[in-house]
Amino acid sequence: MTEPPALANLSDSQRAQAFRRFQLLRPALEEGLALRDVARTQGVPLRTLQRWQRAYAQHGLAALARQPRRDRGTHELPEMVVRLIEGLALQRPAPSVANIQRQVAEVAHEHVWSVPS
């Protein structure tokens, strides 16, 4: 995990989310309850609580806020493939995702592009 931003640099919703997650972890952190028991009573997967606990121990409260993806807003697909997918998706009636995938795969093979999954 990369270093999270300072708590003051988080949005209000990110701070609220970090605090909610801390509240879920609090029994394990302050009262010594087993994470397994906290997971069971709060309905949160144990693995998630373990990840949150590790992030909190390493980086503090700010680490409990969801961080935006580093690759947000980028595509690894060629622009022509993205446009093709968008154009097919906007047809009426809307085709199924599987149908769009098949059509894109055909065009990708014709143009010797990698076939997106």
Q: Are residues 24 and 50 in the same domain?
A: yes
Q: Are residues 85 and 60 in the same domain?
A: no
**Which pair of structure tokens corresponds to residue 11?**
């949005």
Sign of the C-alpha dihedral computed for residues 75, 76, 79 and 84 taken in this order: negative
Q: Are 21 and 59 in contact (CB under 8 A)?
A: no
Give the pLDDT confidence score for residue 72 in this predicted structure. 75
Give the pLDDT confidence score for residue 2 in this predicted structure. 65
Residue 32 Rama label (left phi>0; alpha psi -120 to 50; beta):
left
Q: Are residues 57 and 102 in the same domain?
A: no
User: What pTM value is reported for the model?
Assistant: 0.60
Q: Are residues 12 and 45 in the same domain?
A: yes
Range of the domain at 53: 7-64
CA atoms of 18 and 75, how far apart (whole Å): 29
Q: Could you give phi then psi for residue 116, rounded to 5 degrees?
A: -70, 150
Which residue ranges of the chain lie beneath pLDDT 70?
1-2
Give the pLDDT confidence score for residue 1 in this predicted structure. 57
